[in-house]
Structure 1
Amino acid sequence: MEGAQMPQLCHMCEENADIKFKCVDCAILLCPRCRKLHAKVKTQYVHRIVDLKDKRAISSGTKTNRVISNRCEFHEDEHYIMYCKSCQRLVCITCIITMHQKHEMRDMKLIDSAEKTKLKQYQEKIDKIILPKISRKFNRFDDLMEFHAKKFDTAKSEIHDWNIYLKNTIITYLDDQEERFCEKIDKNMDEIKQNILPQLSKLDDIKTNLAGVRSEIDHVTNSKDFTKMIYIENSIESFLKDVNAQKITKRTHFFNFSQSELTFPKLGDLTFTAVFNLQCTQSIQTGLSCIDKMTAYTNGELLVRNLKLKNLCLLKTENEKFIKLQKWNFEVKDISVLQTGEIIVILFGKTDLRLVSNREHMPSKAIDDCTTIFFETAPQIPTALHTTRDNKVIISTVEAGRDWLPMDVPCKVEILVITAKSEVIFRFLFNKDVFCFPNKITSIGTDICIADSISDYSGRLVTLNNRGKVKWTYGDNEKNSVIIGDMVATPLNNIVLLDPCQSVLRVLDSNGSFLNIWELRDFKITDAYAMTISNDDKIFIGCGHDGSNLHIVEFRE
């Protein structure tokens, strides 16, 4: 039955499926007949053979550690003489007779030489590619950590300083208010004094005079002096007139302090700011008349296309300049590079992807002489390709005859994800329900970002998840309409879009949210057509003119 497991055979005779024992030291399964034979195999130690039914014996019978040398691990009186390709291990003569019968053997010296060569290749790859790449990433993340640490300290310092400033401002403001209030109260008190104190003084004088008159009345009454009596009477009537005349003509007012409601001032707001900045660090004259498509090659080299002159060039940096290493005289629609350095191209009028022959051994510059078929897409026509960071190739294709259809009409589109060996991993089919004309591809992790042209003057970015479902789109309405000339994904999963018509760079995050926009004229970049990102995370922008037509833009995340 399909999918059924093959029965386990004895590791010695490889015929009997009646497995009942296991040699813990040799890590092999045995049938009852081979159990006795295996126990007689001469070694420096006694074979510990346990019954498979005895689970406790199996779990406790761990294999003793031995130092691996040229002597056989299982038969220490014997030396390794061959390499068992079937089991991928070194074997001695006893191993071959007892455990590796009918297995495919290889000369140990040839295997040793091949392994050494392979390990040296790995060593060279580690030294030249992997370690420098890790160092660059380490430095980037170290810089990023330092950047965020500084931002952390700056934010906390600004909050503390603002807190102190607000406290001092409030104290100063309240002290000023208290002083103004007290000044008003003092002024009012002065007005009250000016109004009331003179009247108090006059009344005090009348009171003193009346006390004297009263004393005179006693004296005159006892003396029976009529003349004095008349005088005193007149004086009393005059004093009474003055007393009756003492009236408060103006009522005074007083201040009553009312406390305000206690409200706390707001310290401020704490918001997250997208960490992304761009800076043009170099502008280079390549000697080319136009760069309208490009991709990063190995070791700082660049592959660039000049569609006007119908050629593909390989450029290399030397003394802060780019020199031409190789030129292929044929037209390509798109270019990508595998991590092995192999160049993949889409040619006009072809329904396949081609590998470009190694430049050092290229006998001819004709298309059929210098390219071989890498992957066939017929009947669909390939439009764009992209190599991911884990060396997978993503391809977009459209139905035949699409070049003659209006671009704003949806068409049948197939998105394929294949290995570096041309094996299909995923195949996503869209039957005139999503795309009009996909012409650029990049990726963020397992998400696929596809630039879809709706017309010559409008487009959008469609992002698919790893199941081929639309995750989000950007630029599909008038509010955020965009023409995508090219795009790259940064190591921290931001997407940079090149809009050649507006001459700007737009940056989105991994969820399609807009982060920022840069005017290319601020970088002194004109007629930008193409863009790529290098292995050391520098963005290269190519332009459609001669002169300084290659610019290096470094991003700060």
Structure 2
Amino acid sequence: MADNISIAEAQMPQVCHMCEENADIKFKCLDCAFLLCPRCRKLHEKVRTKYVHQIIDLKDKRVISKDSKSNRVYPIRCEFHADENYIMCCQECQQLVCATCILTMHQKHEMGDMTIILSSKVTKLKQYQETIDTTILPNISRNYARYDDLMEFHTKRVDIAKTGILDWKNYLINTVTKLLDKQAEKFCEQIDKNIDEIKQNILPQLSELDDMKRHIKEVRSEIELVTNSHDLTQMINLEKSMESSLKKVNAQKKKERTNYFEFTQSELKIPKLGDLTLKAVFELQCTQSIETGLSCIDKMASYKHGELLVRNLELKNVCLLKTVHDKIIELQKWNIEVKDITALQTGEIIVILVDKPDLRLLPNKQHETIQVIRDCADIFFDTAPQIPTALHTTRENNVIISTVETGRDWLPMDDPCKVEIIVITAKSDIISRFIFDKDLFCFPNKITSIGTDICIADSISDYSGRLITLDNNGKVKWTYGDNETNSVIIADMVSTPLYNIVLLDSCQSVLRVLNSKGAFLNTWNLRDFNVTDAYAMTVSMDEQILIGCGQTGTNLHILEFRE
């Protein structure tokens, strides 16, 4: 039956797929699914492809493909030759071609079947479509929400700042007014008191002088009468009285010096309202706490979107987890003890094994024994004779490694140590290597990066440490916690897209935030987020801070940050 159908289809009126003119169809290419006229058959055989053209006579029932109709591509006009349709795909140029294109512009090029090429393109585009739906659009929506939230935050801060300014202005006005009113009242009281004292001093003297003046006038009148009377006795008595009066007049003196208040206006100075300073935005809030089912999370590394690598040192294993809503799914587990772990953007997982002078790639398949992994894991980079202590993947997909001299794990940390900081590419090519021969570091155990700068947590002892930042030439740029009064124990640290550094101090149960110059920004108490026994920290692909804890139960916390 199938053969009959194929013969019927072959006998239907059609034109040659090559010249699209001749209806005398005699042959078919099984590899290209082309129907050919006798003239185009020879031409088609010369078209280069990775296949050997299997051209058969349509009279041969055995070789006609029953799927030729379903594999047929709808005609598409050539953009260079308007009278012809595309018939094949040039493998070298990766573009569709017509018969004239093959003869003129693509001679000796290898050709491929249009249906296969188009199918691969459709598959690729569908993959892009899936990536858009699962990754790109969610990321855009997430970033939009973040910027919208940031805009709302700044709008609120503007209102808070303006309200604060007006409230403070009114407060100052009221305070200054009250102060001036009180001062004016005090001044007036002092002036009134002074005039009262002056009155008490001067008024009695005025009264006494009035009496004296009146008495002297009486004496004068009497002198005139006595002198006119020529009475010697009255003259003698009046003379004595006059001498007594003159003594009283001469005895009249000012009792004390008087002073007066003179008001002088103060120099007019505009009161200082305050200062405006730009403050870096960095806010934190815990948005989710998850019960993972793990007994401990003491090392973390971000993997793909929604996926996370964690280490459980107690059980000596590494797990690949995926967050689905409020639940954790374990995708994979490696039974191996590692010192540190990171992942490249291409998905390769790099670990530091205990006492191994190299970095290793974890295999894709799970293994049951530690020995199998130690023996079969590929070496990613050899650090011998130095022993690696920590590693970090940068946003540029480079890897930074810190190493110490052999046996350093058994020496006191407070002694300087020979340290090498190595920066390599994702293909393990060395970009830079900085050697510090017992002149800077004691024991580097954490690494992160801000741009081209390298931030290294250096443990001085079990109870003290510091953060050392190197520039791209290996020179110390700045340090934090470099003295006894400002020491910091760094259990883990991460950098944010805007180059803020978040330090996890598990002993104090706090997060400290520094800017790219090492200036302190803020401190958050993890207990305020209901986070206890925090051991590890990482930044997820969607820019959230993940904190792992050394306990069972709710031991994975997701913190949103605004910066």
TM range (shorter): 0.7 to 0.9
Structure 2 residue identity aligned to 1:411: K
Q: 1:495 aligns with which of 489, 501, 506?
A: 501
Question: Deviation at 1:253?
Answer: 0.5
SS at match of 2:423: strand
Equivalent residue for 2:378?
373
Q: What whole-Å deviation, never above 9, does each CA across 1:37-71 have from its counterpart, x for those lacking one?
A: xxxxxxxxxxxxxxxxxxxxxxxxxxxxxxxx943
Equivalent residue for 2:175?
169
In 2, are the aligned partners of 1:72 and 1:91 still within 8 Å (CA)?
Answer: yes
Distance 2:430 2:92 in 1: 28
Please show how residues 535-550 of structure 1 align to structure 2 within 5 Å.
Answer: 535-550=541-556
Q: What whole-Å deviation, never above 9, does each CA across 1:240-288 have from its counterpart, x for those lacking one?
A: 7446424135134021426376373544344444543444555544332
Question: Deviation at 1:444?
Answer: 2.0
Q: What whole-Å deviation, never above 9, does each CA across 1:145-170 have from its counterpart, x for those lacking one?
A: 33334334433443343344334433
In 2, are the aligned partners of 1:353 and 1:374 still within 8 Å (CA)?
Answer: yes
Equivalent residue for 1:142?
148
Distance 1:460 1:184 in 2: 63
Q: 1:262 to 1:234 in 2, by over 3 A?
A: same
Please show how residues 402-421 of structure 1 align to structure 2 within 5 Å.
Answer: 408-411=415-418, 413-419=420-426
Structure 2 residue identity aligned to 1:245: K
Please show how residues 14-413 of structure 1 align to structure 2 within 5 Å.
Answer: 70-205=76-211, 207-208=213-214, 238=241, 241-242=244-245, 244-246=247-249, 247-257=252-262, 259=264, 262=267, 264=269, 265-280=271-286, 282-317=288-323, 320-348=326-354, 350=356, 351-357=358-364, 362=365, 364-366=367-369, 368=372, 373=378, 375-377=380-382, 379=384, 381-397=387-403, 408-411=415-418, 413=420
SS at match of 2:143: helix
Distance 2:196 2:559 in 1: 75
Structure 2 residue identity aligned to 1:178: A
Question: Deviation at 1:526?
Answer: 4.1
In 1, are the aligned partners of 2:216 and 2:245 still within 8 Å (CA)?
Answer: no
SS at match of 1:545: coil
Q: What whole-Å deviation, never above 9, does each CA across 1:341-393 have from its counterpart, x for those lacking one?
A: 55443333553421441xxxx47545657975372426465443333334444
Q: 1:183 to 1:274 in 2, by over 3 A?
A: same
Q: What whole-Å deviation, never above 9, does each CA across 1:186-234 have from its counterpart, x for those lacking one?
A: 3332333343334434544554565566567667777x595xx966985
In 2, are the aligned partners of 1:81 and 1:93 still within 8 Å (CA)?
Answer: yes
Q: 1:551 aligns with which of 554, 557, 560?
A: 557
Q: Are residues 1:442 and 2:448 paired?
A: yes
Unpaired segments ≥5 residues, structure 1: 1-68
CA RMSD of aligned residues (A): 3.8
In 2, are the aligned partners of 1:355 and 1:374 still within 8 Å (CA)?
Answer: no
Q: Are residues 1:430 and 2:435 paired?
A: yes
In 2, are the aligned partners of 1:398 and 1:414 still within 8 Å (CA)?
Answer: no
Question: Deviation at 1:129?
Answer: 1.4
Distance 2:222 2:411 in 1: 133
In 2, are the aligned partners of 1:213 and 1:232 still within 8 Å (CA)?
Answer: no
Identity %: 62
Distance 1:477 1:198 in 2: 78
Q: 1:344 to 1:352 in 2, by over 3 A?
A: closer
| TM-score normalized by the length of structure 2 | 0.72
Distance 1:455 1:470 in 2: 21
Distance 1:435 1:101 in 2: 65
Question: What is the total number of aligned residue pairs between the two structures?
Answer: 480
182-191 vs 488-497, greater mean Cα deviation: 182-191
Q: What whole-Å deviation, never above 9, does each CA across 1:9-32 have from its counterpart, x for those lacking one?
A: xxxxxxxxxxxxxxxxxxxxxxxx
Distance 1:213 1:399 in 2: 123
Unpaired segments ≥5 residues, structure 2: 1-74
Distance 1:156 1:322 in 2: 45
